[in-house]
Amino acid sequence: MKINLENIFEFVPKKQVYALREELNRNQQLLHEKSGKGNDFLGWLNLPSSITDSELSQIESVASDLRSKSDVVVIVGIGGSYLGAKAVIEALSHSFASMIPHSGNPTVVFAGQNISEDYHSELLEMLDKVRYSVVVISKSGTTTEPALGFRLLRNHLEAKVGKAEAASRIVAITDESKGALRKLANQEGYRTFVIPDDVGGRYSVLTPVGLLPVAIAGFSIRELVKGAADAEQQTAPSVKFEENPACLYAAARNALYEKKKVVEIMVNYNPKLHFLAEWWKQLYGESEGKEQKGIFPASVDFTSDLHSLGQYIQEGERMIFETVLTIAEPKTKLNIPNDPENLDQLNFISGKRLSEVNRMAELGTILAHIDGGVPNIVIEIPRLDAYWVGYLLYFFEKACALSGYTLGVNPFDQPGVEAYKKNMFALLGKPGFEVQGEQLRKRLE
Ligand code: PA5
């Protein structure tokens, strides 16, 4: 993986970025000596190097069982219990996977990541017609959205195949001993995997939370973990600042933030990366957005969004910097055909690969945005495969923790997420929330 900071130095001098070297080195120490904020949530740091062959085999074996008995597997979860799996599966899947018959892979769909009645009704309607299994994921075991989604699915599956068969088609991933989901899983005899206590939701993609769905979708979790393990090594404290991509990225974004670049846009030129950016937004948004500070993480899919948000990025409020996530070599080759009539006047590029046009769009946009006052960080991976996705996951996690410490916040808590939940419970009339409910209803009159 290459990280290129050259295009930020006309906005923030290189000296100023590199001046953060000492601070980043200190933050590496805080993380690895477990002496910084949130130090009881650092289990993710060594996940790639510590996961055992037998743990991977166990995940693969359950995945293979569910694959053999399902046309569709529903993954139930929200936030960190959803986005990692979704990001990896979208990045690695054929763009039209669900429309290709006999691929040998079940279709993986998601539930409980929203509470839309239409979404869940239509999901159940589709599940009426197929053989399916369910993986329910909740670290706390008490989150409302997945609990509701799972209640609907369990009810549907038990009515369809009977209670005993349903239990063999349900796998729960949750806390070792606490929470409603653990209790239910024990009572119903579901197979389970544990989310370690010291791994927070948004840092959990390299636990069974991400690995089981990815294995069910038919991708190599061993390659994913191998890539992450290499990133673990290459971002370790022993790697000096100048060669450590996590330190460089964390330093660059904090230096830009000091220059009032308060919005970071993750840019891709391949729609397979759309959900990787969604995962990244949760990771950075929940980790850094607190104490009235933090960079706001946003994302765009180019070139599509150059025809919408591109205008704002080029000429709107100058508070933005971009991080372009780029892939050196596409999986496939597609040449532009020649057209004797040339009515679209595109013969000047006939014979070229589509990826060359995409690359020129990328390079041209980077230069245009720099001219428009938008600094660019470029992160390049050679190929979009399981190894490099695993590498990116760990790289972004490590950089996020370092960046959060540099900003001075605890990157491992999310106190702000509670506010909406309390209001929702109060408005729904949950016992214990009566007074708050009355106050809120008055405000809504
Ligand atoms: O990062 C986090 O901790 C959150 O986004 C959680 O992943 C999310 O709220 C879901 O929580 P749970 O897995 O407990 O259902």
What's the pLDDT tens digit per position in 56-101?
Answer: 999 999 999 999 999 999 999 999 999 999 999 999 999 999 888 7
**405 CA to middle of ligand 1, Å?**
21
**202 CA to middle of ligand 1, Å?**
7
Kindly tell me if the per-residue pLDDT of 106 is higher than 90. Answer: yes
> What secondary structure, in 3-state letters, does 372-428 show?
CCCCEEEEEECCCCHHHHHHHHHHHHHHHHHHHHHHCCCCCCCHHHHHHHHHHHHHH
Q: Is 287 in the pocket of ligand 1 (CB under 6 A)?
A: no
Kindly tell me if the per-residue pLDDT of 253 is higher than 80. Answer: yes
Q: Is 76 in the pocket of ligand 1 (CB under 6 A)?
A: no
Report which protein residue has its CA nearest ligand 1's atom 12.
138
Q: What is the mean pLDDT of the chain?
A: 96
Of the candidate ranges 248-262, 302-316, 346-360, 427-441, the one whose mean pLDDT is the lowest: 427-441
Q: How many residues does the chain have?
A: 445
- Annotated active-site positions, please? 286, 307, 421
Residue 189: both structure tokens together: 């005899």
What pLDDT score was predicted for residue 61?
A: 98
**Number of Cα atoms under 13 Å in the Cβ half of residue 55:** 17
Report residue 161's pLDDT band, with 50, 70 and 90 as the boundaries.
very high
User: What 3-state DSSP class applies to 190?
Assistant: coil
- Of the candidate CATH numbers 3.40.50.450, 3.40.50.2300, 3.40.50.10490, 1.20.120.1200, the domain formed by 47-219 belongs to 3.40.50.10490
What phi and psi, each to the nearest 5 degrees, are found at residue 316?
Answer: -80, -160
What's the pLDDT tens digit per position in 256-268?
Answer: 999 999 999 999 9
What pLDDT score was predicted for residue 105?
A: 93
Q: Is 112 in the pocket of ligand 1 (CB under 6 A)?
A: no
Kindly tell me if the per-residue pLDDT of 336 is higher than 80. Answer: yes
Would you give the DSSP letter of residue 290?
B
Q: Is 204 in the pocket of ligand 1 (CB under 6 A)?
A: no
**122 CA to middle of ligand 1, Å?**
25
Measured over all CA atoms, what is the biggest interatomic distance in the chain, rounded to whole angstroms?
75
**229 CA to middle of ligand 1, Å?**
24
* CA separation for the pair 398, 103 (Å, rounded): 35
**342 CA to middle of ligand 1, Å?**
54
Kindly tell me if the per-residue pLDDT of 405 is higher than 90. Answer: yes
Residue 368: both structure tokens together: 């245009």
What pLDDT score was predicted for residue 220?
A: 98
What pLDDT score was predicted for residue 112?
A: 97
In sequence order, which residues have a C-beta less than 8 Å from that of residue 19 and are 6 or more positions away? none
**368 CA to middle of ligand 1, Å?**
39
What's the pLDDT tens digit per position in 376-398?
Answer: 999 999 999 999 999 999 999 99
Contacts of the segment 29-32: beta carbons below 8 A, 24+ positions apart: 29/237, 30/405, 31/401, 31/402, 31/405, 32/236, 32/237
Q: Is 140 in the pocket of ligand 1 (CB under 6 A)?
A: yes
Kindly tell me if the per-residue pLDDT of 102 is higher than 90. Answer: no
Closest CA to 247 of 86, 57, 96, 22: 22
Residue of 143, 205, 412, 421 best suited for mutating to test ligand 1, as the one with most atoms within 8 Å of CB? 143
What phi and psi, each to the nearest 5 degrees, are found at residue 240?
Answer: -70, 155
Residue pair 201/220 in contact by the 8 Å Cβ criterion: no
What pLDDT score was predicted for residue 259?
A: 97
What's the pLDDT tens digit per position in 191-242?
Answer: 999 999 999 999 999 999 999 999 999 999 999 999 999 999 999 999 999 9
- 64 vs 425, higher pLDDT: 64
% of the chain at pLDDT higher than 70? 100
Kindly tell me if the per-residue pLDDT of 129 is higher than 90. Answer: yes
Residue 51 CB neighbour total at 10 angstroms? 20
Q: Is 410 in the pocket of ligand 1 (CB under 6 A)?
A: no
What pLDDT score was predicted for residue 60?
A: 98
Q: Is 373 in the pocket of ligand 1 (CB under 6 A)?
A: no
Helix axes 144-161, 117-127, angle to 10 degrees: 20
Report which protein residue has its CA nearest ligand 1's atom 3.
201
Report residue 103's pLDDT band, with 50, 70 and 90 as the boundaries.
confident
Kindly tell me if the per-residue pLDDT of 419 is higher than 90. Answer: no
Report which protein residue has its CA nearest ligand 1's atom 8.
79
Residue of 113, 140, 207 best suited for mutating to test ligand 1, as the one with most atoms within 8 Å of CB? 140
Q: Is 202 in the pocket of ligand 1 (CB under 6 A)?
A: yes
What ranges do the domains of the chain cover?
2-36+227-410, 47-219
Report residue 417's pLDDT band, with 50, 70 and 90 as the boundaries.
confident
Q: Which CATH superfamily is domain 2-36+227-410 in?
A: Glucose-6-phosphate isomerase like protein; domain 1 (3.40.50.10490)
**Residue type at 86?**
K
Output the CA torsion 6→11→16→17 (10° steps): -40
* CA separation for the pair 158, 184 (Å, rounded): 14
% of the chain at pLDDT higher than 90? 95
**385 CA to middle of ligand 1, Å?**
27
**Ligand 1 atom with least separation from CA of 78:** 10
User: What 3-state DSSP class applies to 164?
Assistant: helix
What's the pLDDT tens digit per position in 136-149?
Answer: 999 988 899 999 99
Residue 102 CB neighbour total at 10 angstroms? 5
What pLDDT score was predicted for residue 394?
A: 98
> What secondary structure, in 3-state letters, does 195-236 show?
CCCCCCHHHCCCCHHHHHHHHHCCCCHHHHHHHHHHHHHHCC
Q: Is 210 in the pocket of ligand 1 (CB under 6 A)?
A: no
What's the pLDDT tens digit per position in 20-68?
Answer: 999 999 999 999 999 999 999 999 999 999 999 999 999 999 999 999 9
Report which protein residue has its CA nearest ligand 1's atom 2.
201
* CA separation for the pair 249, 245 (Å, rounded): 6
